[in-house]
A and B are shown apart, each in its own frame.
Chain A
Protein backbone atom coordinates (compact mmCIF):
# COMPACT_ATOMS: atom_id res chain seq x y z
CA UNK A 1 0.00 0.00 0.00
CA UNK A 2 1.26 3.47 -0.86
CA UNK A 3 0.04 6.80 0.42
CA UNK A 4 0.06 9.45 -2.29
CA UNK A 5 -0.52 13.12 -1.51
CA UNK A 6 -3.56 14.69 -3.11
CA UNK A 7 -3.49 18.33 -2.24
CA UNK A 8 -6.43 19.97 -3.83
CA UNK A 9 -9.86 21.14 -2.94
CA UNK A 10 -12.72 18.69 -2.89
CA UNK A 11 -14.91 21.07 -4.90
CA UNK A 12 -12.12 21.58 -7.37
CA UNK A 13 -14.47 21.38 -10.36
CA UNK A 14 -16.90 23.93 -8.94
CA UNK A 15 -14.01 26.20 -8.02
CA UNK A 16 -12.60 25.95 -11.54
CA UNK A 17 -15.95 26.91 -13.08
CA UNK A 18 -16.34 29.71 -10.53
CA UNK A 19 -12.88 31.01 -11.42
CA UNK A 20 -13.89 31.01 -15.10
CA UNK A 21 -17.05 32.94 -14.22
CA UNK A 22 -15.08 35.44 -12.12
CA UNK A 23 -12.62 35.98 -14.95
CA UNK A 24 -15.47 36.46 -17.43
CA UNK A 25 -17.20 38.92 -15.09
CA UNK A 26 -13.99 40.91 -14.74
CA UNK A 27 -13.38 40.95 -18.46
CA UNK A 28 -16.88 42.23 -19.18
CA UNK A 29 -17.16 44.63 -16.27
CA UNK A 30 -19.89 42.66 -14.50
CA UNK A 31 -20.15 42.87 -10.71
CA UNK A 32 -21.77 39.79 -9.24
CA UNK A 33 -23.42 39.58 -5.82
CA UNK A 34 -24.55 36.29 -4.23
CA UNK A 35 -27.46 36.59 -1.77
CA UNK A 36 -27.83 33.84 0.84
CA UNK A 37 -30.34 33.43 3.67
CA UNK A 38 -32.86 31.08 5.26
CA UNK A 39 -36.14 30.64 3.39
CA UNK A 40 -38.42 33.57 4.09
CA UNK A 41 -35.82 36.10 5.20
CA UNK A 42 -36.81 38.43 2.41
CA UNK A 43 -34.33 37.92 -0.43
CA UNK A 44 -36.94 38.16 -3.16
CA UNK A 45 -38.64 41.13 -1.50
CA UNK A 46 -35.32 42.94 -1.21
CA UNK A 47 -34.60 42.22 -4.87
CA UNK A 48 -38.04 43.56 -5.84
CA UNK A 49 -37.42 46.79 -3.96
CA UNK A 50 -33.93 46.97 -5.42
CA UNK A 51 -35.06 46.49 -9.02
CA UNK A 52 -37.85 49.03 -8.50
CA UNK A 53 -35.20 51.56 -7.46
CA UNK A 54 -33.17 51.25 -10.65
CA UNK A 55 -34.07 53.52 -13.54
CA UNK A 56 -34.96 51.69 -16.77
CA UNK A 57 -31.97 51.05 -18.94
CA UNK A 58 -29.69 50.17 -16.05
CA UNK A 59 -27.82 47.01 -16.99
CA UNK A 60 -28.97 44.91 -14.03
CA UNK A 61 -29.93 41.23 -14.21
CA UNK A 62 -31.11 38.62 -11.72
CA UNK A 63 -30.67 34.86 -11.43
CA UNK A 64 -32.96 33.36 -8.84
CA UNK A 65 -32.59 29.83 -7.50
CA UNK A 66 -35.31 27.64 -6.06
CA UNK A 67 -35.84 23.94 -5.63
CA UNK A 68 -39.19 24.16 -7.41
CA UNK A 69 -41.43 26.75 -9.14
CA UNK A 70 -40.61 29.88 -11.07
CA UNK A 71 -42.71 32.05 -8.73
CA UNK A 72 -39.77 34.26 -7.80
CA UNK A 73 -38.79 34.88 -11.40
CA UNK A 74 -42.38 35.90 -12.14
CA UNK A 75 -42.34 38.31 -9.21
CA UNK A 76 -39.04 39.80 -10.29
CA UNK A 77 -39.73 39.98 -14.02
CA UNK A 78 -42.34 42.73 -13.48
CA UNK A 79 -39.60 45.33 -13.07
CA UNK A 80 -38.40 45.14 -16.67
CA UNK A 81 -34.92 43.77 -16.08
CA UNK A 82 -33.67 40.40 -17.35
CA UNK A 83 -34.52 37.65 -14.86
CA UNK A 84 -33.89 33.95 -15.13
CA UNK A 85 -35.08 31.23 -12.78
CA UNK A 86 -32.76 28.37 -11.90
CA UNK A 87 -34.86 25.44 -10.71
CA UNK A 88 -32.52 23.00 -9.04
CA UNK A 89 -35.00 20.12 -8.94
CA UNK A 90 -34.05 19.06 -5.44
CA UNK A 91 -30.59 20.48 -4.90
CA UNK A 92 -30.31 22.70 -1.86
CA UNK A 93 -27.85 25.21 -3.33
CA UNK A 94 -26.72 26.80 -6.57
CA UNK A 95 -23.37 25.78 -8.00
CA UNK A 96 -21.12 27.40 -10.56
CA UNK A 97 -22.25 25.06 -13.33
CA UNK A 98 -25.90 26.08 -12.88
CA UNK A 99 -24.90 29.75 -13.05
CA UNK A 100 -22.77 29.17 -16.14
CA UNK A 101 -25.64 27.41 -17.89
CA UNK A 102 -28.18 30.06 -16.88
CA UNK A 103 -25.95 32.86 -18.17
CA UNK A 104 -25.31 31.20 -21.54
CA UNK A 105 -28.20 32.90 -23.31
CA UNK A 106 -27.29 36.41 -22.19
CA UNK A 107 -24.61 38.49 -23.85
CA UNK A 108 -21.75 38.44 -21.34
CA UNK A 109 -21.00 42.13 -21.85
CA UNK A 110 -24.62 43.25 -21.39
CA UNK A 111 -24.71 43.17 -17.58
CA UNK A 112 -23.11 45.62 -15.15
CA UNK A 113 -24.66 44.15 -12.03
CA UNK A 114 -25.69 40.52 -11.65
CA UNK A 115 -27.70 39.69 -8.55
CA UNK A 116 -27.90 35.99 -7.70
CA UNK A 117 -30.59 34.90 -5.26
CA UNK A 118 -29.41 31.57 -3.89
CA UNK A 119 -31.74 28.79 -2.77
CA UNK A 120 -33.17 29.65 0.67
CA UNK A 121 -30.83 27.75 2.96
CA UNK A 122 -28.25 28.91 5.51
CA UNK A 123 -26.02 25.85 5.25
CA UNK A 124 -25.62 24.31 1.84
CA UNK A 125 -24.86 27.32 -0.41
CA UNK A 126 -21.87 28.16 1.78
CA UNK A 127 -19.35 25.84 0.16
CA UNK A 128 -20.19 26.80 -3.41
CA UNK A 129 -18.34 29.70 -4.98
CA UNK A 130 -20.41 31.18 -7.82
CA UNK A 131 -17.72 33.57 -9.04
CA UNK A 132 -19.27 36.42 -7.07
CA UNK A 133 -17.46 39.56 -6.07
CA UNK A 134 -19.41 39.90 -2.85
CA UNK A 135 -21.48 37.64 -0.69
CA UNK A 136 -24.49 39.05 1.14
CA UNK A 137 -26.17 37.14 3.96
CA UNK A 138 -29.66 38.20 5.04
CA UNK A 139 -31.04 37.70 8.53
CA UNK A 140 -34.58 38.74 9.39
CA UNK A 141 -35.44 39.95 12.87
CA UNK A 142 -38.12 37.25 13.18
CA UNK A 143 -35.44 34.54 13.08
CA UNK A 144 -33.57 35.18 16.30
CA UNK A 145 -30.33 37.05 16.83
CA UNK A 146 -28.20 33.97 17.44
CA UNK A 147 -28.29 32.75 13.81
CA UNK A 148 -24.70 33.94 13.20
CA UNK A 149 -23.52 31.67 16.01
CA UNK A 150 -25.64 28.75 14.81
CA UNK A 151 -24.48 29.09 11.22
CA UNK A 152 -20.96 30.49 11.55
CA UNK A 153 -19.75 28.90 8.31
CA UNK A 154 -22.19 31.00 6.30
CA UNK A 155 -21.83 34.23 8.25
CA UNK A 156 -18.03 33.96 8.33
CA UNK A 157 -17.99 34.36 4.54
CA UNK A 158 -20.30 37.37 4.40
CA UNK A 159 -19.03 40.68 3.05
CA UNK A 160 -22.31 42.28 4.06
CA UNK A 161 -25.00 41.15 6.48
CA UNK A 162 -28.44 42.64 5.84
CA UNK A 163 -30.79 42.61 8.83
CA UNK A 164 -34.26 42.63 7.31
CA UNK A 165 -37.82 43.30 8.50
CA UNK A 166 -36.70 45.83 11.13
CA UNK A 167 -40.20 47.33 11.05
CA UNK A 168 -41.22 44.25 13.07
CA UNK A 169 -38.77 44.97 15.89
CA UNK A 170 -41.50 46.28 18.25
CA UNK A 171 -43.28 42.93 18.01
CA UNK A 172 -40.43 40.42 18.33
CA UNK A 173 -37.87 39.79 21.08
CA UNK A 174 -34.90 40.45 18.80
CA UNK A 175 -31.85 42.11 20.37
CA UNK A 176 -30.15 44.14 17.66
CA UNK A 177 -27.09 44.78 19.82
CA UNK A 178 -26.59 41.04 20.31
CA UNK A 179 -27.15 40.33 16.61
CA UNK A 180 -24.42 42.81 15.71
CA UNK A 181 -22.12 41.37 18.37
CA UNK A 182 -22.65 37.81 17.09
CA UNK A 183 -22.03 38.83 13.49
CA UNK A 184 -18.86 40.61 14.56
CA UNK A 185 -17.63 37.52 16.39
CA UNK A 186 -17.87 35.23 13.38
CA UNK A 187 -16.96 37.83 10.76
CA UNK A 188 -15.27 40.87 12.30
CA UNK A 189 -15.01 42.63 8.94
CA UNK A 190 -18.56 42.25 7.64
CA UNK A 191 -20.49 45.41 6.95
CA UNK A 192 -24.00 45.48 8.43
CA UNK A 193 -27.13 47.16 7.09
CA UNK A 194 -30.50 47.25 8.84
CA UNK A 195 -33.51 47.69 6.61
CA UNK A 196 -37.19 47.12 6.06
CA UNK A 197 -38.66 46.57 2.63
CA UNK A 198 -42.08 47.49 4.04
CA UNK A 199 -41.24 50.84 5.60
CA UNK A 200 -38.33 51.55 3.27
CA UNK A 201 -35.92 52.40 6.08
CA UNK A 202 -32.35 51.45 5.25
CA UNK A 203 -32.99 50.79 1.58
CA UNK A 204 -30.92 53.83 0.65
CA UNK A 205 -27.94 52.50 2.60
CA UNK A 206 -28.31 49.13 0.87
CA UNK A 207 -28.49 50.82 -2.57
CA UNK A 208 -25.43 52.86 -1.71
CA UNK A 209 -23.51 49.72 -0.76
CA UNK A 210 -24.65 48.04 -3.96
CA UNK A 211 -23.79 51.04 -6.12
CA UNK A 212 -20.36 51.27 -4.55
CA UNK A 213 -19.81 47.55 -4.92
CA UNK A 214 -21.10 47.58 -8.47
CA UNK A 215 -19.23 50.71 -9.43
CA UNK A 216 -22.52 52.20 -10.60
CA UNK A 217 -22.14 55.56 -8.94
Chain B
Protein backbone atom coordinates (compact mmCIF):
# COMPACT_ATOMS: atom_id res chain seq x y z
CA UNK B 1 0.00 0.00 0.00
CA UNK B 2 1.33 3.41 -0.95
CA UNK B 3 -0.18 5.04 2.12
CA UNK B 4 1.66 2.68 4.45
CA UNK B 5 5.09 3.49 3.03
CA UNK B 6 7.65 3.97 5.80
CA UNK B 7 8.44 7.65 6.19
CA UNK B 8 12.15 7.43 6.90
CA UNK B 9 12.66 10.73 5.12
CA UNK B 10 9.84 13.20 4.98
CA UNK B 11 9.94 13.34 1.18
CA UNK B 12 8.76 9.73 1.29
CA UNK B 13 5.66 10.56 3.30
CA UNK B 14 5.06 13.61 1.11
CA UNK B 15 5.31 11.44 -2.02
CA UNK B 16 2.87 9.02 -0.35
CA UNK B 17 0.42 11.88 0.28
CA UNK B 18 0.74 12.93 -3.35
CA UNK B 19 -0.04 9.48 -4.69
CA UNK B 20 -3.00 9.16 -2.39
CA UNK B 21 -4.37 12.42 -3.82
CA UNK B 22 -3.67 11.31 -7.39
CA UNK B 23 -5.52 8.09 -6.79
CA UNK B 24 -8.50 9.91 -5.35
CA UNK B 25 -8.63 12.27 -8.32
CA UNK B 26 -8.30 9.43 -10.78
CA UNK B 27 -11.25 7.66 -9.20
CA UNK B 28 -13.31 10.83 -8.98
CA UNK B 29 -12.75 11.72 -12.66
CA UNK B 30 -12.81 8.12 -13.79
CA UNK B 31 -9.60 8.84 -15.64
CA UNK B 32 -6.04 7.68 -15.96
CA UNK B 33 -3.57 10.22 -14.62
CA UNK B 34 -0.52 10.70 -16.85
CA UNK B 35 1.24 13.45 -14.96
CA UNK B 36 0.97 15.51 -11.81
CA UNK B 37 2.33 19.04 -11.47
CA UNK B 38 3.47 20.46 -8.16
CA UNK B 39 4.87 23.78 -6.99
CA UNK B 40 7.71 23.60 -4.51
CA UNK B 41 9.01 26.73 -2.84
CA UNK B 42 12.65 27.31 -2.05
CA UNK B 43 11.76 27.34 1.67
CA UNK B 44 9.27 24.47 1.59
CA UNK B 45 11.69 22.19 3.40
CA UNK B 46 11.36 19.69 0.57
CA UNK B 47 14.22 18.64 -1.64
CA UNK B 48 12.97 18.26 -5.22
CA UNK B 49 15.35 15.47 -6.16
CA UNK B 50 14.59 13.45 -3.03
CA UNK B 51 10.90 13.91 -3.68
CA UNK B 52 11.29 12.76 -7.26
CA UNK B 53 13.24 9.70 -6.14
CA UNK B 54 10.63 8.78 -3.52
CA UNK B 55 7.77 9.43 -5.93
CA UNK B 56 9.25 7.20 -8.62
CA UNK B 57 10.03 4.49 -6.09
CA UNK B 58 6.48 4.45 -4.80
CA UNK B 59 4.85 4.64 -8.22
CA UNK B 60 6.71 1.79 -9.87
CA UNK B 61 4.92 -1.54 -9.92
CA UNK B 62 1.58 0.08 -9.07
CA UNK B 63 -1.41 0.60 -11.34
CA UNK B 64 -0.59 4.34 -11.39
CA UNK B 65 2.64 3.74 -13.37
CA UNK B 66 3.77 5.36 -15.58
CA UNK B 67 3.08 8.67 -13.86
CA UNK B 68 5.21 11.74 -14.49
CA UNK B 69 6.07 14.27 -11.80
CA UNK B 70 6.47 17.83 -13.04
CA UNK B 71 8.03 20.15 -10.50
CA UNK B 72 7.89 23.92 -10.69
CA UNK B 73 10.26 25.54 -8.22
CA UNK B 74 9.19 28.86 -6.74
CA UNK B 75 11.65 31.42 -5.38
CA UNK B 76 11.87 32.80 -1.87
CA UNK B 77 10.13 36.18 -2.01
CA UNK B 78 9.68 39.03 0.44
CA UNK B 79 7.40 42.07 0.35
CA UNK B 80 8.41 45.42 1.77
CA UNK B 81 6.06 46.74 4.44
CA UNK B 82 7.15 50.29 3.68
CA UNK B 83 6.96 50.57 -0.09
CA UNK B 84 5.13 47.32 -0.99
CA UNK B 85 7.88 46.16 -3.34
CA UNK B 86 7.73 42.40 -3.93
CA UNK B 87 11.16 40.88 -4.59
CA UNK B 88 13.04 37.60 -4.83
CA UNK B 89 15.49 37.10 -1.97
CA UNK B 90 19.00 36.45 -3.18
CA UNK B 91 22.03 35.67 -1.02
CA UNK B 92 19.77 35.86 2.05
CA UNK B 93 19.26 39.58 1.54
CA UNK B 94 15.79 40.25 2.91
CA UNK B 95 16.03 44.05 2.98
CA UNK B 96 14.07 45.90 0.32
CA UNK B 97 16.14 46.47 -2.86
CA UNK B 98 13.98 49.50 -3.74
CA UNK B 99 13.85 51.57 -0.55
CA UNK B 100 16.40 49.80 1.63
CA UNK B 101 13.99 49.12 4.50
CA UNK B 102 14.59 46.04 6.63
CA UNK B 103 10.89 45.87 7.47
CA UNK B 104 9.93 43.14 5.02
CA UNK B 105 7.83 40.01 5.28
CA UNK B 106 7.70 36.63 3.60
CA UNK B 107 5.68 36.73 0.39
CA UNK B 108 6.49 33.34 -1.10
CA UNK B 109 8.78 30.34 -1.06
CA UNK B 110 7.06 28.07 1.45
CA UNK B 111 4.72 26.51 -1.15
CA UNK B 112 4.17 22.77 -1.30
CA UNK B 113 1.14 22.63 -3.55
CA UNK B 114 -0.43 20.69 -6.35
CA UNK B 115 -0.89 22.68 -9.53
CA UNK B 116 -2.54 20.35 -12.05
CA UNK B 117 -2.98 16.81 -13.30
CA UNK B 118 -2.86 15.63 -16.85
CA UNK B 119 -5.54 13.03 -17.33
CA UNK B 120 -6.80 10.75 -20.04
CA UNK B 121 -10.43 9.68 -19.96
CA UNK B 122 -10.86 5.97 -19.63
Q: Do A and B make up one complex?
A: yes
- Chain A residues at the B interface, C-beta cutoff of 8 Å: 1-14, 88, 90-93, 95, 123-124, 126-128, 149, 152-154, 156-157, 182, 184-186, 188-189
Contact between chains at B92 and A4 (CB < 8 Å): no
- Chain B residues at the A interface, C-beta cutoff of 8 Å: 6-10, 13-14, 17-18, 20-21, 25, 29, 31, 34, 36-38, 43-46, 76, 92-94, 102-106, 109-110, 112-121
Contact between chains at B114 and A11 (CB < 8 Å): no
- A-B pairs with CB below 8 Å: how many? 110
B7 partner residues in chain A, CB cutoff 8 A: 88, 90-93
The majority secondary structure among interface residues of chain B is: mixed
Given A2-B118, A11-B112, check contact A90 B6 (CB 8 Å). Answer: yes
Interchain CA distance A12-B29 in the complex, whole Å: 19
Contact between chains at A8 and B113 (CB < 8 Å): yes
Interchain CA distance A126-B13 in the complex, whole Å: 13
Q: Given contacts A3-B117, A123-B10, A128-B10, list 15 more A-B pairs with CB under 8 A.
A: A1-B34, A2-B118, A2-B119, A4-B25, A7-B114, A9-B114, A10-B38, A13-B20, A92-B8, A95-B13, A127-B44, A153-B43, A182-B92, A185-B94, A188-B94
